[in-house]
Amino acid sequence: MRMIDLMEKKRDGQPLSKSEIRFFINGFTTGDIPDYQASALLMAIYFKGMNRAETVNLTMAMAESGDMLDLSDITEYAVDKHSSGGVGDKTSLIALPLVASFGVPIAKMSGRGLGFTGGTLDKLESIAGYDVNLTEAEFRRIAGETGIVLAGQSLSMAPADGKIYALRDVTGTVASLPLIASSIMSKKLAAGARGIVLDVKAGKGSFMKTPADARALASAMVRIGVDAGRDMVALLSDMNQPLGVAVGNALEVAEAVMTLQGQGPDDIHDHCAEIAAHMLRLAGQGQRWADLDETRSEVDRALRSGSAIEYFGRMVTAHGGDVRQVEDLSRLPQAKLRYSLLAREAGYVARVGAEKVAWAALALGAGRAAKDDVIDHAVGIEVHASVGDAIAAGDRMMTVHANDEGRLQAALELLSSAVAYSADSVPRLPLFHGVIDGKDLSPGTGT
């Protein structure tokens, strides 16, 4: 088999076979196929696309390019969730302890943030001592002892994806639906879950700007999972304004803790309850938690009661974190400067630009513009207003937390145009734009 034949075949719009895809993935991972040939094939895929069988074969080849985690000794049915990234999205910090509180073990590997999307690991490292870098033995031990572990992904999992993504990033081939879907799902499949809930964001504060684009990506990922033998659900959620109030690492940890104590903002409460209900339904495998409405009600009651906070504390302690910062949120990192942005006029909030808030948080130091940037866990923004709120002139719209005057001014400049006002009432934004359930999809035609 020759790489030039694969490049020409895909250039001409023909589908690649399973063996051809594996030849490419194995050869590129080991270094036998050079970057320039891999780049040519990726560009051909960008222009010509991939069919359903090609996409699932690409995903499985990338997943199997490294270690495949087996969680059967931890739980008979491992369930996981993935978010495509958003502004103020601290869902994993809430939904996972919530699911664990129902007796469903959670063993999840998460990532760091790059750009304006915050990473779960960065948020957890706001807690002093929290160790996200676990060996596989430590990962398994914590899962078995506490019922929940949330750590970083092993470098030995899906190494082909890391190499291919680095190449896509510098060759203009990032925005390819089959390449995006296979990149995300290869890591999910390698992480050992049998049931996967996807939270795919749509809006100005996400990668997919419209519900139609988010639906296309979600459908592709659900089809991959179904064809790989996994139970799949994708929720299409809105990201035109921040989720919850807090944007920034320690601020989001504090909001997650408050939500787990039954005191969080309504939107993050409802969002996490929905995610957790779908995770439980998959974990029940059609028996326990079969009725989604009933499960959603149980989850809502558990979240309001504050019972799930125990599992968050267990997780923090098991990872070496200072649980006193969970018990007393004032112990979390605190910024030196605070600045309140006030409403310029009375009326209704017509827009709270998620992307403006995200870039402002990045300017403060809450995120990374480059992979080696150091994060300031204390800084961020509290967004006190949501689209549809009635306001009076002088009402507090945002609170900016900063540690540097220059960074504060840069953030304020970005935030100056983040909020739009209307004299007339404005409808509230939906939390979700729909659900794609894998059980409603027909299986693929084979690989």
- For the annotated catalytic residues, the residue numbers are 82, 161, 168, 183, 187
Lookup: tokens for 254 = 């504090």
Q: Which of 274, 276, 269 is nearest to 237 (CA)?
A: 274
Write the DSSP assignment of 136-205 as a string of letters: HHHHHHHHHHHSEEEEEPPTTSSHHHHHHHHHHHHHT----HHHHHHHHHHHHHHTT-SEEEEEEEESTT
Q: Which of 92, 94, 97, 126 is nearest to 109 (CA)?
A: 92
State the Cα–Cα distance between residues 349 and 333, nearest whole angstrom: 31
Lookup: tokens for 26 = 């194995």
Half-sphere exposure (CA, 13 Å, Cβ side) for 199?
27
* Greatest CA separation for the chain: 70
Classified as helix, coil or strand, 306 is coil
Lookup: tokens for 150 = 């949330």
Contact 365, 403 (CB under 8 A): yes
State the Cα–Cα distance between residues 26 and 289, nearest whole angstrom: 41
Residues 10, 13, 19, 21, Cα dihedral to 10°: 50
Residue with token string 């949501």: 386
Q: Which residues of 337-373 are buried (b: 16+ CB within 10 A; e: fewer)?
A: eeeebebeeebbbebbbbbbbbbbbbbbbbbbeeeee
Residue 304 CB-density burial (10 A; 0-12 exposed, 13-18 middle, 19+ buried): middle
